[in-house]
Structure formats: structure tokens, C-alpha cells
Copies of this chain bind each other. A is one copy, B any other.
Amino acid sequence: MPRVSRAEAEIHREQITEASARLFRERGINGVSVADLMGAAGLTHGGFYGHFESKDALAGVAVAHAFEQSVERWNRRIAAAPDDAARRAVLVDKFLAHRSMKDVGMGCPSVSMAGDVAREPATAPIRTAYLDGLESLVQVLASVEQGADAAAKRAAALADFATLAGALMLARATEGAPLSAEILAAARARLAPAPAPTPAPAPARRKTRQA
């Protein structure tokens, strides 16, 4: 059915973006074909170039979208906490959760896209998207850090982020082995020495998304 309405076409564009944001995180940019992405929106591959200039251009849009989702999620989480210490704690706790490690497609793109981004040339759209997205997340984290001044809070956020992202990356690469959970636990202990760890298997309903 060719020539759908403009409203429908816009919905299609959003579906392609949404599916790309998930599939690129799960399988990497080379691991997903244009036909896969269009198929995820119920379309055939030929129409792709009516929506995006190239696969690379879409990768930039998709990564930006994934980071926006993460920033919104982080802001939602810290909004419910009473003070900065609790806000930082909830971000750490969710980021290093087992569920976070498993659901790559909805997880933080700072980890799942880092390898792809590092290998792209400096001019690729995905690099700008990644840089801006990471900066946004770092600022959210810095806003809840303890510190004498803004510089100290930012430095704490950067070091914390390195630990969080590194732990998730290593845990995923060793998934299936005991070492995987060991890494997550060690990072959790390092970043949140005092309070309670994970809240237990959860009683009733929970949100589906993560870090």
C-alpha cells in the first residue's frame, strides 16, 4: 500500500528510529541490515531512503534517541528520591542491576554503542550523537554527586561513570561465567559501600526499562 498519509509516514519514521535504537544496541550497526530495520516497522527496504539519507545518518539519529531515553529515565528516577545521596544511589543500583546487563536493547547506549562509535571516523553522525548523549548523562550524574564545587562533582561523576560503564561492559562480555556477576558486585560495593544493595526480586508490578 503505497502513498500513506503524512501522519502515517511520520509514524513510520518514528518506528524505524525506535527499532534502530534497540537493534543497533543489541547487534551493533553492522549486525542489522536496512531490510531488518524497515521490516521492524512493517515496511520493505526500498522506502528507507525516503526517510533517511543513509544508514550512517540513521545511526546518528538512533543513538541520539537512545541517549534521550536514558536521560529521561535517569531524571524520572532521581525525581522520586529524597536527597542527592539517594539519587546517586538509585542511579548506581539500576545501572549495575542484573536486568540492566541482560536487556542490551533498552540499556545505556554509552556501553552498548561504545565499540561501534570508537571505530567510526570522526565525521560520522554517530560520533556527535554519542558525545552529546554521554555529556548529558554525565551532567545528570554530576548534579547528584557530593563535592566541594562543580568541578569536584563533575570529576566524581566522570570517575563513577567509568566504573559503571566498565563494569557493565565487562559483565556482558563474560556473561554466563561467575566472573560476570562478580564484577557487577565489586563495582556496586565500590560505588555504594554503605546502603542496601539490590531491593530483592520485586513484589508486584515494575517498569520494563532500565539504565
Instruction: Mark A residues whose CB is within 8 Å of B.
Output: 26-28, 30-31, 104, 110-119, 122, 127, 130-131, 134-135, 138, 154-156, 158-159, 161-167, 169-170, 172-177, 179, 182-183, 185-187, 189-190
**Which one of B119, B162, B177 lies within 8 Å of A186 (CB-CB)?**
B162
Docked-complex contact B30 and A169, CB < 8 angstroms: no
Contact A115 B179 (CB under 8 A): no
Once the chains bind, are B158 and A187 in contact (CB under 8 Å)?
Answer: yes
Q: For A119, A122, A156, A161, which residue has the most chain B Cβ atoms within 10 angstroms?
A: A119
Please, how many angstroms separate the alpha-carbon atoms of A77 and B22 in the complex?
42
A110 to B170, CA, bound (A): 8
- The 8 Å CB contact of A170, one of B104, B161, B189, is B161
Smallest Cβ distance from A146 to chain B, in angstroms?
14
Q: In the complex, which of the residues B159, B162, B173 contacts A118, with contact meaning CB atoms closer than 8 Å?
A: B173
- Are B119's CB and A27's CB within 8 A? yes
Number of copies: 2
Tell me if B166 and A117 are in contact (CB < 8 A): no
Are B31 and A119 neighbours in the complex by a CB distance under 8 Å?
yes
Contact A131 B166 (CB under 8 A): no
| Contact residue among B30, B162, B177 (Cβ-Cβ distance under 8 Å from A163) | B162
Q: How far is the CA of A183 from the CA of B163 in the complex (A)?
A: 11
Are B166 and A130 touching (Cβ within 8 A)? no
Query: Given contacts A158-B187, A163-B159, are A170 and B114 in contact (CB under 8 A)?
Result: yes
Contacts of A119 in B (CB 8 A): 26-28, 31
Considering the chains assembled together, what is the distance between the CA atoms of A161 and B190 in angstroms? Answer: 12
A50→B156 CA distance, assembly (Å): 52
Q: Are B174 and A134 in contact (CB under 8 A)?
A: yes
Closest residue of chain B to A188, judged by CB?
A: B159
